[in-house]
Amino acid sequence: MLACHANLFPHFPVADCRHHRKGLDGAVRRVLDGGQFVLGQEVQEFETEFAHYLNAGATLGVASGTDAIELMLRALDIGPGDKVVVPALTADASAAGVRRAGAEVLLADIDAATFTLCPQSLAALLSSSAGAGVKSVLVVHLYGQVADWAALQQVAAAHSVILLEDASQAHGARWCGRMAGTLGHAAAFSFYPTKNLGALGDAGAVVTNDEVLAERVRRLRQYGWRERYVSEETGINSRLDELHAAVLRVKLRTLDEHTSRRRALAVFYTKQLLIHGVVKPPIVRPECEPAWHQYVVRSAEREALQQHLAASGIPSAVHYPRALHQQTAYAHCQTMPLPVAEQAAREILSLPLHPYLSDEASEVLCQTVNSFSSRTNDATP
């Protein structure tokens, strides 16, 4: 009879709210007492604090990460008739934001080691006939690992395309000491509740050092208003609520501490998992300090491993079971073979990792993964 360890693995957003409960109660009270519910003082304070945290010029709070992608593209006049490259393995939302801006999505393959956009694949795409007319590349720091920025910059410069970041999974990650979200011309963040910095519902932000771009996003997020009731251009309603901003301000204070805990857990997992070699642990580039939004391993027996973990009450998940071109909505975005993303989609498994996991939980997790090894080895004649 297997032990059930479910109580050692709380769901991150629930544990996060429990941990911050006192501060969140105060934040909700402040919003109720303040009497302003959308784009008010809390939003302004959060925008200042998040920009300061990142060492960025400006943060513009919007209603979701998908909106942030759409708005930063629209603010750069990237839309109908333009093409934007997106990695083939990412959240659908990365591509959905580009489509919402009206631009065409083209897919490039990922790097087998880090799951982020492969610079060689990007170069091949941009040099091909399909790549003509590409204006921008949306670089996704998937699972909290910063993509190979130096190599991507070289490719982008050679082809005169703008690098933008989807930092929705990379709050607090760094590349050569610089924060993810400040590397490209602009970045989109999501604050969906499961993110490392999460609100109580949908929320997002555009981050940039470009003042003109910031001003344009500020207009576009609210009907294109130059001033109240005076629209300069057609915008949308994508405002950040006061409640979410107040909550984000509370959680931002512990983001670094929580990222450190994620990093310590990741180091421990990798060390333990390498001993038995049942799964391939994630590989980190020396320039990158990941945010560890997900700790993703590879296994040729992913489904069996997942069942083995579930039998002990250990949750796991697949982010994502299909590459973008393997989904009806984005099948037409493929112009070249994307074998690395396809193989990853077959093998990846996200193991539980967040700051509310105890040392005991981390030991149980690694032992349980490693015991799958002995099970399969035992079965080998």
Ligand X SMILES: Cc1ncc(COP(=O)(O)O)c(C=O)c1O
Where along the sequence are the contacts to ligand X (CB under 6 A)? 64-66, 90-91, 93-94, 140, 166, 168-169, 190, 192, 202, 204
Both tokens of 99, joined, read 């489509």
CB of 199 to ligand X, least distance (A): 9
Of 68 and 364, CB closest to ligand X: 68
CB of 61 to ligand X, least distance (A): 12
CB of 215 to ligand X, least distance (A): 23
CB of 86 to ligand X, least distance (A): 10
Q: What is the 3-state secondary structure (H, E, C) of 306-362?
A: HHHHHHCCCCCECCCCCCHHHCHHHHHHCCCCCHHHHHHHHHEEEECCCCCCCHHHH
Burial of 67 (0-12, 13-18, 19+ CB in 10 A): buried
DSSP 162-200: EEEEE-TT-TT-EETTEETTSSSSEEEEE--TTSSS--S
- Per DSSP, the three-state class of 105 is strand
- Per DSSP, the three-state class of 292 is coil
CB of 168 to ligand X, least distance (A): 4
CB of 145 to ligand X, least distance (A): 12
Short-list 251, 259, 248, 253, CA closest to 61: 248
CB of 189 to ligand X, least distance (A): 8
Of 244 and 285, CB closest to ligand X: 244
Contact 176, 29 (CB under 8 A): no
Sorted by sequence, the CB contacts under 8 Å of residue 336 that are 6+ apart come out as 107, 108, 109, 121, 124, 125, 128, 130
Q: Which residue is nearest to ligand X (CB)?
A: 65
CA 14, CA 194: separation in Å to the nearest integer?
A: 9
Cis peptide bond N-terminal to 320, omega within 30: yes
CB of 151 to ligand X, least distance (A): 20
Of 46 and 192, CB closest to ligand X: 192
Short-list 49, 48, 74, 75, CA closest to 215: 75
